[in-house]
Amino acid sequence: MNGRTSSVLDLPAISGCYLFPQPRCVRDPFLVEVNGAELTCYRQVVDPNAFTVVHFHGNGEAVADYVPDFSEELCGLGLNSLFVEYREYGGSTGQAHLVAMLDDGEAALAAAQVSVEKAIVFGRSIGSLYAIELAHRRPNIAGLIIESGIANPAERFLAYADLKTANLDEAEILAEVKHHFNHKAKLSGYTKPLLILHTEHDGLIDISHAERNLKWAASSQKRLLRFPRGDHNSIMAYNFDEYLKAIASFVKSL
């Protein structure tokens, strides 16, 4: 294993149940060197002085799924974009490990030379783990957007993992999640603007996760937009106009 891999959460019994590398890749990737891997990210700059959306996608997606459609929509809002690819996804090297990838957001931000104060960090689904981590490490970012995000990863990690077969102890898993993915603690130190997008009928990640993330955040400017239509994987498709308007409104408020 490469990088930060001392956690049992990086074992196949855990990471293999929640990270599903996708082969789709962008034609002209923005390459980012991290510890033990090279990430095939995507970078688009419309104005060097504008905000940059630093995007972390879901576990069954790839950066290529957001290019060019969503990247162009962000461009239309006057926003630069940096879509961070995960290890083993979309042409990236390395191995997709939950904890080892926690460092990669900072590496991508540095490689793209994006000023922390000009970064709007955006995490969708499991990407919320890496967005919240980056906001925790760099609390002076301009803003944080969480879409269909996770409040307590332990609820997800223990739902499908076969701990008995892998000879893993539940208490150890819970301790590791608390150590690496304590969103309550991380968000309690985040005071900048926060926008949370979630459907009422997510099906995979209950909206209670969004409610908890909202409650935990120390932000004085925070909002949870609840969509009555769509589910976990159709939130943007079913609410496209309102979804983009919410992002545009959030950016104008920064």
Please, what are the domains in the chain? Answer: 8-253 (3.40.50.1820)
Name the pLDDT band for 24 (thresholds 50, 70, 90): very high
The whole model's pTM is what? 0.96
Does the structure show a pLDDT above 90 at 161?
Answer: no
List Cα–Cα distances, 58 to 26, 85, 149, in angstroms. 16, 10, 9
Percent of the chain having pLDDT more than 70?
98
Residue 119 pLDDT level (bands cut at 50, 70, 90): very high
Q: For residue 77, what pLDDT band results from cuts at 50, 70 and 90?
A: very high
Answer for the pair 176, 155: CB distance below 8 angstroms, yes or no. no
The confidence band for 164, taking pLDDT boundaries of 50, 70 and 90, is confident
With contact defined as beta carbons under 8 Å apart, do 185 and 163 qualify? no
